[in-house]
Amino acid sequence: MSAPASPSCAARSGRPSSGSDPSGVVPGGGLRDSAQARKLPPTFGGRVVSELLFDTAGGIATITLNRPDSGNAFTTEMLGLWEKALRECILDDAIRAVVLTGAGRIFCSGGDVKRMAANTSGGQSAWDRAKYLTDHVHRIPLTLMELDKPYIVAVNGAATGAGMDMALMGDIRFAAESARFAETYIKVGFVAGDGGAWMLPRLVGQPKALEMLWTGDFVSAAEAERIGLVNKVVPDAELLSATQAFAERLANGPTVAIRLMKRMVQQGQTSSFRDALAFAASCAGVVGSTEDHREATAAFAQKRKPEFKGR
């Protein structure tokens, strides 16, 4: 997600200890069937979660939207758990990359249209509608602004409305061949209230963004790749393995450099070139003193593969 970065250049890092134990089990999927899943952090009340799954393995956290029978449409509970899972990813130094995907055949259909209809017929006020967005939906992009680790979205099917916009918040997007994208707000006489109108033109340009927002028409995975909406399209059966492989590559890389590079790119979206250069110099100073930098330069000279420690 393109958003201002923290002014601090210090980045925490870490590798999980071999003796670490998962705290429990969450039924459901992840990227690897063999990966041990665990309960969500203590702030979740220690209960098994059904609407959102969260597991970690090999330094990678996987968040799975888990309302497949409802197109993974948002609920207040899901959004709250999603935010808390992201907080865990921010605070846990053993987590070095984060993957988001959806259970079933649909990635995310955004807000629950049936609930929206009920709220409209019930006379929900403008204040109530705005407050729902700020108190719940907006918590996801605002929390992501604090995440300086790679956030990779695996779009496993249709991504519509706010569901598409949640996909746009990823740093990298992989899409299954069957995936489709549509800004369907206009179909229900609504607007993109979750930041999509800010993010989409930064990815595809203003004319294409307006076309998608004004028509609500679907864009295929192939077209999404062509216009820069996604990074890569893969066969459906290979989506999770391809996303996992990319996440592992980043999780096993020089952690501090990867996290600071994300901050540099994000800050560059809103800062002047002069300020961007100053921040780059500061980050270079920090990275230049890391063990991973020394290891990488030594490995280059010795013509061998570097062994990064994340510090």
The pLDDT of residue 129: 79
Q: What are phi and psi of 241, to 5 degrees?
A: -70, -40
The pLDDT of residue 131: 82
The pLDDT of residue 6: 44
Query: What is the mean pLDDT of the segment spanning 186-215?
Result: 95
The pLDDT of residue 134: 82
Q: How far apart, in whole angstroms, are the C-alpha atoms of residue 212 and residue 240?
A: 27
Which tokens is 31 given? 């990227």
Query: What is the mean pLDDT of the segment spanning 166-180?
Result: 98
Are 280 and 263 in contact by the 8 Å Cβ rule? The answer is no
* Whole-structure pTM value: 0.82
Percent of the chain with pLDDT over 90: 67
Q: What angle do CA 203, 207, 208 make, to 5 degrees?
A: 55
**Confidence tier at 1 by pLDDT (50, 70, 90):** low
pLDDT at 176 over 80: yes
Are 162 and 194 in contact by the 8 Å Cβ rule? The answer is yes
Query: What is the mean pLDDT of the segment spanning 35-43?
Result: 40
Of the options 1.10.12, 1.10.1220, 1.10.357, 1.20.144, the CATH number for the domain spanning 255-301: 1.10.12
The pLDDT of residue 48: 46
pLDDT at 200 over 70: yes
| Domain covering 42-251 in this structure, CATH number | 3.90.226.10
Query: H helices within the chain, ranges in order?
Result: 76-91, 113-121, 126-132, 139-144, 162-168, 196-204, 206-215, 221-226, 239-251, 255-268, 273-287, 291-301
pLDDT at 27 over 80: no
The pLDDT of residue 127: 81
Please state, as a whole number, how many other Cβ atoms lie within 10 Å of the Cβ of residue 121: 8
Q: Which is higher by pLDDT, 108 or 9?
A: 108
Structure confidence by residue, pLDDT tens digits, 108-165 = 999 876 765 565 555 678 888 788 788 889 899 999 999 999 999 999 999 999 999 9
**Confidence tier at 222 by pLDDT (50, 70, 90):** very high
DSSP for 175-209, written as a single string: EETT-EEE-GGGGGT----SSHHHHHHHHH-HHHH
pLDDT at 14 over 60: no
| Residues 6 or more apart in contact with residue 268 via CB below 8 angstroms | 276
Q: How far apart, in whole angstroms, are the C-alpha atoms of residue 229 and residue 226?
A: 8
Q: What is the mean pLDDT of the chain?
A: 84
How do the domains of the chain map onto residue ranges? 42-251, 255-301
**Confidence tier at 40 by pLDDT (50, 70, 90):** very low
Structure confidence by residue, pLDDT tens digits, 224-274 = 999 999 999 999 999 999 999 999 999 999 999 999 999 999 999 999 999
